[in-house]
Amino acid sequence: DAGITQSPRHKVTETGTPVTLRCHQTENHRYMYWYRQDPGHGLRLIHYSYGVKDTDKGEVSDGYSVSRSKTEDFLLTLESATSSQTSVYFCAISEARQLEAFFGQGTRLTVV
């Protein structure tokens, strides 16, 4: 399995608080992605990165920001969590765009 670790694996937070999820890879892959998965919606792309300090928005980016200061780390931040952001968040990495992507185990976030 690809070396990709998400932390934390589970988190419960209150509405209005900031939350940061971390994705760490040991594969030195250039591309990194954050998805959220909700019942009935499959996986939806939030943000992606194509290099250090190079990021762009996906289809559901509102309310989320990302940062990538090192190749191995891709952070997803919810500046002010809302109940609609309760979801399972997956990080993925790939060596080349849109080719085989490797997914992390996911982070289950609950906003109460």
Partner 1 sequence: LAKTTQPISMDSYEGQEVNITCSHNNIATNDYITWYQQFPSQGPRFIIQGYKTKVTNEVASLFIPADRKSSTLSLPRVSLSDTAVYYCLVGDPGGFKTIFGAGTRLFVKA
Binding site for partner 1 (CB under 8 A): 31, 33, 35, 40-45, 48, 50, 56, 58-59, 90, 92, 96-106
Rounded Cα–Cα distance for residues 53 and 67 (Å)? 7
CB 13 within 8 A of CB 109: yes
Identify the bridge partners of residue 31 per DSSP, sorted by sequence position. Answer: 94
Q: Closest distance between partner 1 and the C-beta of residue 109, in Å?
A: 14
| Cβ nearer to partner 1, comparing 23 with 78 | 23
CB 54 within 8 A of CB 68: yes
| Cβ nearer to partner 1, comparing 75 with 88 | 88
Q: Closest distance between partner 1 and the C-beta of residue 87, in Å?
A: 14
HSE-CB of 84 using CA atoms within 13 angstroms: 6
| Cβ nearer to partner 1, comparing 85 with 107 | 107
